[in-house]
């Protein structure tokens, strides 16, 4: 069985993905995108929790599940049963990476904690994803994206100043944690080539949530207070954001003083604003944004978006439309870039899958497999990797182990 393509960067790497929901599965998907063979372990009856979230696709998948599980195989194993635990241990012997996001101590109780796995496979890269620091007082707290968005201050920097704190539109903490985890695994795999040693990587949603605050977080520390919230505007660059025109909104990003000069003279015909000492530098414009922005809004509302965008583009000022999500996904830009892939589906006929964002040597990395039907790879993988025959597989299925 080969579920990877030899030309991809991680071809030959095998990943055992014991994670559920978003952060862990996203990490596994990234590794699968790079060519690793990713074996997703799921409960025989219910599978990953996200098979029951969002919009149904077929009998066992949903749009949510499919969004984080492309390029994987699904093997159903009941980890609560000793025989299921033995299957995982036998699979580990032939894997390079193990990913999980069980509650703190959960896998240790099943005999699948790091020390146990390391004794079976000494060079394993073992990635534990949790809500909080596994060495701290909150190690046992479950981690949820929405909770961490609140606790890490992310809601406090998002949205309009006149409105309550606002969560991001997607599970941004889960997503970044998955990406950071994949980066750490790649680093550990690179190191293993040199040292022949494995690693125990420990990632926490809260830690990653703090990292996401980025320059806003550092500004808060330097100012010794929360930075103001500006909604679609930029806290440091003016004018920069979403602006209403005579017919529809437009994104305008005036990134430096030369652009501001051209914006005033060539786009909105306001030489007086370009000459005004209050607006000469970006720091000046930030201080005086309450005076400047209303003047700009007044001018933009006189003009239609298409005309404005033509002038902005001619003046070398970045700009863009504000599209609905479906409109964006069906745009010529997405189509030309191959960013949505139609994949075969045993029930639906075909189903859309977002393609990996990575390009290597001019080629986008492929969607090799759509997100799997629950347990589609169980028999093949356990037969090929562990040598289990049809009789043994039937016996395990009858016992509810697989």
User: Catalytic site residues?
Assistant: 174
**Cβ pair 18, 99 in contact under 8 A:** yes
| Tokens of residue 331, six digits | 């745009």
Q: How many residues does the chain have?
A: 402
For the chain, helix, strand, coil in percent to 5 are 45, 15, 40
d(CA 250, CA 255): 16
Contact 212, 282 (CB under 8 A): no
Q: Are 129 and 100 in contact (CB under 8 A)?
A: yes
Secondary structure element (H or E) that encloses residue 145, with its range: helix 145-151
Tell me the residue ranges of DSSP E strands in 160-226: 199-204
Strand partners, 349: 345
> Which residues, 6+ apart, have CB-to-CB distance to 188 below 8 Å?
125, 198, 199, 201
User: Residues 15, 41: contact at Cβ < 8 Å?
Assistant: no
Please tell me the distance from the alpha carbon of residue 58 to that of residue 75, in angstroms, as a whole number. Answer: 18
């Amino acid at each position: 069985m080969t579920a990877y393509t030899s030309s991809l960067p991680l071809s030959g790497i095998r990943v055992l993905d014991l994670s559920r929901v978003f952060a862990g599965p996203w990490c596994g998907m990234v590794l699968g995108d790079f060519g690793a063979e990713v074996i997703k372990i799921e409960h025989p009856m219910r599978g990953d929790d996200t098979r029951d979230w969002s919009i149904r696709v077929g009998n066992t998948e949903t749009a949510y599940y499919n969004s984080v599980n492309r390029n994987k195989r699904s093997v159903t194993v009941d980890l609560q049963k000793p025989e299921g635990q033995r299957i995982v241990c036998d699979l580990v012997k032939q894997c390079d990476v193990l990913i999980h996001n069980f509650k703190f101590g959960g896998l240790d109780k099943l005999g699948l904690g790091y020390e146990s796995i390391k004794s079976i496979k000494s060079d394993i890269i073992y990635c534990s994803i949790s809500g909080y620091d596994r060495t701290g007082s909150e190690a046992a707290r479950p981690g949820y994206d929405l909770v961490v968005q609140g606790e890490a201050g992310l809601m406090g920097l998002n949205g309009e100043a006149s409105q309550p704190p606002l969560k991001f539109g997607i599970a941004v903490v889960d997503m970044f944690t998955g990406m950071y985890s994949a980066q750490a695994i790649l680093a550990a795999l690179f190191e293993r080539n040199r040292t022949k040693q494995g690693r125990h990587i420990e990632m926490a949603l809260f830690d990653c949530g703090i990292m996401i605050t980025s320059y806003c977080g550092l500004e808060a520390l330097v100012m010794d207070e929360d930075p103001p919230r500006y909604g679609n505007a930029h806290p440091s660059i003016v004018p920069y954001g979403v602006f209403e025109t005579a017919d529809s909104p437009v994104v305008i990003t005036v990134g430096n003083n030369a652009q501001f000069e051209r914006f005033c003279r060539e786009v909105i015909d306001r030489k007086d604003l370009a000459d005004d000492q209050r607006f000469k530098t970006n720091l000046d414009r930030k201080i005086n944004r309450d005076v400047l922005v209303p003047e700009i809004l007044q001018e933009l509302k006189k003009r239609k978006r298409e005309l404005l965008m033509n002038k902005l583009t001619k003046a070398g000022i970045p700009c863009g439309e504000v599209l609905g999500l479906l409109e964006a996904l069906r745009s010529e830009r997405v189509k030309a870039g191959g960013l949505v892939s139609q994949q075969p589906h045993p029930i639906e006929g075909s189903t859309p899958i977002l393609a990996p964002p990575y390009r290597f040597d001019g080629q986008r990395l492929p969607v090799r497999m759509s997100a799997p039907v629950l347990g589609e790879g169980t028999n093949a993988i356990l037969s090929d990797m562990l040598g289990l025959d049809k009789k043994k597989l039937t016996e395990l299925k009858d016992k509810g182990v697989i």
